[in-house]
A and B are shown apart, each in its own frame.
Chain A
């Protein structure tokens, strides 16, 4: 009951979603849409539950006075700020949009831009042209970076005037992206896709059960 029913549910819903996708009958399509809607209804509960789990973790941190426990209040403030405005009034409410544009978006962009510094220092340590493979990585990265900025063409156009492209580095960059890079990506995508399909079949057939967790 505790393990068999979830396995049956997973099998039934998985099979339904596969077959309904291939059957063009209106009944099959409406069943497909209905199950998709069920998914969209159930998923927010998972998110709310995971938020409760996060809140519980931080309540424990505050109770135990662990390191940096005072900052846990900021998580509550952040969630409350967005939920109190967003849930009753909707994401189109001007206060919610103001919070999104002036609090979340700047922090999001800044967090990602912070990586520019660390990625540069990591590259300095890691990119040593010791082997042919490392040299390929280094040279490709340099061409792509130079090809992304106008100064790359300005500097290298005279040196690489013999190349078939009007602008040397941006042309070379685009050729690399469209050919050797794309072929490597296709290889990776095909490999990942085969992995996703085999893993999905294992899950639907109940061979892969790790999502059930331990216990009975």
Chain B
């Protein structure tokens, strides 16, 4: 019974959202606002259970009950986090800057080494790595062509985004080749996005035809 009620609710909400294909209407708005509320509620629950409870509440309560004082250090981030609520008072809004500054500082500090390692070093290695195989003579003729194409594509794309010099003469032609590579990249992204969305559509129609109709007939 619980499953059937779930299927009917899901089917009703699915049809509510698809009603937007006709035009904006109360059914769509009903689903839209409910979706915003439910998604926000879900995020709050996850953040509390995956952040606040394991990293703040549990060490703190263990410190209080067990007498270990190390958990009390968690009172500092809790107090800093509570400063967000100063934003509810117009006179004390500036206190939000303290927790915000910490969050932004940590994010920036974590980003620099991570981006360097995962994006710049790894992507550069992936681009020029096949040349080691060319040097060793283990790459076929087609593989050599692909390795050269990769370097040409990356250099031309980067040239297109390089605005420190005027795009004239050879630079203009290199950046034009970069645009061609970018268009292929955008075309691929578009094609994959469309197919992803169509797959979701097929899944929803399959749900309506098999799961929902299955409860009726």
B7 at the interface (CB under 8 A from A): yes
A22 at the interface (CB under 8 A from B): yes
Known A22-B113, A176-B184, A180-B184: A190·B158 in contact at CB below 8 Å: yes
- With both beta carbons as reference points, the residue of chain B lying nearest to A131 in the complex is identified as B183
Instruction: Classify chain A: how many residues form its interface, as a range.
Output: 35 or more
Are the CB atoms of A136 and B178 closer together than 8 Å? no
Chain A residues with CB under 8 A of B33: 71-72, 74-75, 78
In the bound assembly, the distance between CA atoms of A90 and B84 in angstroms comes to: 24
Q: Name the distance in Å between B159's Cβ and chain A's nearest Cβ.
A: 9
In the bound assembly, the distance between CA atoms of A82 and B46 in angstroms comes to: 10
Q: Name the distance in Å between B129's Cβ and chain A's nearest Cβ.
A: 12
Are the CB atoms of A51 and B44 closer together than 8 Å? yes
The secondary-structure label for the interface of chain B is helix
Specify which of A12, A43, A143, A191 is in contact with B158 (CB 8 Å cutoff).
A191
Specify which of B21, B73, B88, B153 is in contact with A183 (CB 8 Å cutoff).
B153
Are the CB atoms of A190 and B197 closer together than 8 Å? no
Binds A, one of B61-69, B99-107, B131-139, B164-172: B99-107
Known A41-B81, A114-B17: A14·B123 in contact at CB below 8 Å: no
Are the CB atoms of A211 and B104 closer together than 8 Å? yes
Specify which of A36, A76, A106, A116 is in contact with B37 (CB 8 Å cutoff).
A76
Interface string of A87-116 (1 = CB under 8 A from B): 100110000101111111111111111111
- A residues 142-165 near B (Cβ < 8 Å) are 142-145, 148-149, 164
Residues of B that sit less than 8 Å from A by CB = 2, 5-7, 9-11, 13-14, 17-18, 20-21, 29-52, 55-56, 73-74, 76-78, 80-82, 84-85, 87-88, 94, 96-113, 115-116, 119-120, 123-124, 126-127, 142, 146, 149-158, 160-161, 178-195, 197-198, 200-201, 203-204, 207
A-B contact pairs, 19 of them (CB 8 A): A10-B108, A15-B109, A39-B103, A42-B103, A43-B81, A74-B30, A102-B6, A114-B21, A144-B195, A145-B194, A183-B149, A185-B185, A187-B158, A190-B154, A194-B120, A197-B115, A203-B104, A211-B101, A211-B104
Residues of A that sit less than 8 Å from B by CB = 2-3, 5-7, 9-18, 21-22, 34-49, 51-54, 68, 71-72, 74-83, 86-87, 90-91, 96, 98-117, 119-120, 123, 132-134, 136-145, 148-149, 164, 173, 176-194, 196-197, 199-201, 203-204, 211-213, 215-216
- With both beta carbons as reference points, the residue of chain A lying nearest to B95 in the complex is identified as A2
The secondary-structure label for the interface of chain A is helix
Chain A residues with CB under 8 A of B102: 9-10, 13, 38-39, 42
Chain A residues with CB under 8 A of B55: 37, 40-41
Chain B residues with CB under 8 A of A148: 191-192, 195
